[in-house]
Each structure stands twice: as structure tokens, then as C-alpha cells.
Amino acid sequence: MEAIKKIVNASWFKAGLLGLIGLFLLFDKDIFYSGIAFGVGFRELFLAFKKPQVETVEKKAEPAEKVEYKSKTKEKKSKK
């Protein structure tokens, strides 16, 4: 079962399947929809040859020190 899932989810399989769908739509004279199927098929084919991306580990930044700012406005003194 895992082997079937691996084949069906492969980009080259999706590209071939979309190519067949595009051909059937072209024979049915649905040029617009066959073009869409061919376009998505080419996209999947190009994704099959794409290099896998290497995951990078990001170093988390340390929290900054708490800085207190003095306000520039004059503080009002409360009268008792």
C-alpha cells in the first residue's frame, strides 16, 4: 500500500496523468481545458526535476535587555 501511495504522489506520475487528460480533452476539441491540463502537467514535470531544498536551522535571538526611557514631558506633581 505504501508503494502505491509513493508512486501516485510522485510528480512524474501526476505529469503523465495530466498529459493523458490533456490528450483526451484535445481529442474532444476542448482546446482551452487541454491547455490547462498540459500546463499543470508541465509544472509537475518541472517539479520532479527540482533540487530538494536543504532545511536551515535558525539560531534564535536572545531577548534584549530591558531599557527604560525617560519621558520628555514634565511630570505633574500631585498636590496633597
At which residue does the C-alpha cell 509537475 appear? Answer: 44
DSSP state of 10: S
> How far apart, in Å, are the Cα atoms of 37 and each of 10, 15, 26, 80?
17, 9, 10, 82
State the pLDDT confidence band at 79, using cuts at 50, 70 and 90: low
Extents of the domains making up the chain: 2-48
Q: At 78, which helix (H) or strand (E)?
A: none
| Distance between CA atoms of residues 39 and 45, nearest Å | 10
Q: What is the pLDDT of residues 11-63, one digit of tens each?
A: 888 888 889 999 999 999 989 989 999 999 998 888 888 777 777 777 777 77
Per-residue confidence (pLDDT) for residue 77, from 0 to 100: 60
Is the full-model pTM beyond 0.75? no
